Structure 1
Amino acid sequence: MKEWQVEDAGGGCRAFSEVIVLACQNTGELFSSTIPLTWDDGSSLEEKACSQLIQMMSEARVTRDDFFYVCSGNIFHKFHDWLSKNEYNWEVSKIDGLAHEYAEHLFHCQVVSAGFPANIQLVERNYRDYYRAVERWIYADESRLALLKDREVRLKPAETRYILKGNGKHIRSCHKCSKKITPYTPIVVYRHRESGRRVRRYYHLECTPVKPLKSTLESATVTWAACNVDGIVLGAGKEACPCVVCGQPVLPGEKTFYGYWQEKILLTGHLSCFLNGKQPLLAPDS
């Protein structure tokens, strides 16, 4: 079994191609590819990256016994799905070592080969300053503008702008139906920048215009007064409240179950108390 790392470089820079690397830390095998500055086949950036990685895996003669550590970047979302659907062993990971160093090296070589000063380099992952220096150099000469990425074809699909999560204590209004979104229930949040402004929109799960690609929602079903209660799990907020099961305070940050008994009475308590089947100390209100 081999362990492979998947990393990219250059995605945060407005110029030059993104570099994708497949590396085996223990054997030193290295495979790389670059995303073109533009394309016209209708595919997304994530689809381009996935297609190139599949080709690199073929060249590397990867087997299903191998294990993959893959960067969490949006560019790899399609590849994450592909690995799961094809039953590969993998996990999201922060990439260090060979794959990271090689990806950054290849991106810098690409920049230097275009005439950028070789002595200006990425230092300790300070991408902001490094990419700003590259972009200033690009905009200083009109002839270099051809090295800019095509940002239109790289726009993220709408699904990546939506995230499914647990609503906290706030009462939100659904952008579609205008009805309130009850605190401590599932919520879909739209996050994007439009005309330079940060935009947030909120939806009921049944009202969202697209199925979110991302989810941080943790749900649970517990038994209360001989009834099953569906709810969500969140880290408790700063406001102090007793656990309805054991009566002890729920401390900030503790994993806490929130659910509505008979769809109207909010139950709050330590998740562990509910899951351990403890008998409630506090009788439910009728």
Structure 2
Amino acid sequence: MLLLSACGDDDGAATPDASVAIDAGSDAGASDAGGSDAGSDAGGCGARVTATIGPEGGTLAHCDGASLVVPPGAMASAAELSIERVASPPAPLAPHVLAGPAFIFDAPGVLFSDSVTVVLPHDGGPRMEMAAQTDEGWLLLESCEVTETTISQSFRALGTFVALHDPTPYPERLTGLGEGRIDFTFGGIEDEIDVDPEGHAIDQDPGEGRTLTLLFRRSGDSGFVQVDLRFTISAEGVVEPLQIQHYDGSVGEIWSADILAWPDDLDVTITRDEAGVIEGTIDATLHYGSEQTRPFTATFTARSELYRYPPERACELPEG
């Protein structure tokens, strides 16, 4: 392990407490983010750290807890890599908040032939996620692994990354959330299903709009039947259907509105009053396979609860 002192804080002044740890012999699958100085008190250095890493691979660690793990063979030749703490990162859109410092990971002119691992520190909290900075703001990414102090993901390209979390106290269980009822006619047969006790009515609020999901589900001696309705509703109240689907377990058939191919086969209205009661109507043509169609009409009422699905964990994101 070679330890090199890094110079320059946010103002360009020397900062002897900022160090870079280079482990040229580290295992390709091991994140050496906890090097000698990687665990220093967060916010103590704020420096840009650099190191030259070659085809043998290695780990570049920032004293504020970020690190970059380069496996052997990911680089064709030696090049300078850097990690720099961002002085004032922009705030993310609600409901997310910053969960740690943001860092710029840079490798000018380098095309990685294998994924490198970005490791970020975080200060704890529920629903931890990683985000990359774009021209439009922070873009949420599926993270590969979350520990009590770090979050990581593998990439073929670098950029500016930060840990975010959602502090909203969501319900632990999805089934049974909300309430509501749908009365519908499908293929000339009338039916009705409640949200309770097996379905759910939820709002997923990303800050500038929401996704409304109404799942009406019934099981029992008469068989399993569900109607799955999903919409996006903008901050201005514009409704865009995402899914209109009917499933009958007794015959194993899923009938859906082909929203992209036949947008004119679907008419939806949704209103919500000041008390939060949702009312809606649907007049649609549902498709089964490429040729079979049936009419579907419905009226529904519901009262939804706020919910977000927990972040999934996906490793080795595709290139780009």
Q: TM-score, normalised by structure 1?
A: 0.26
Higher strand share: 2
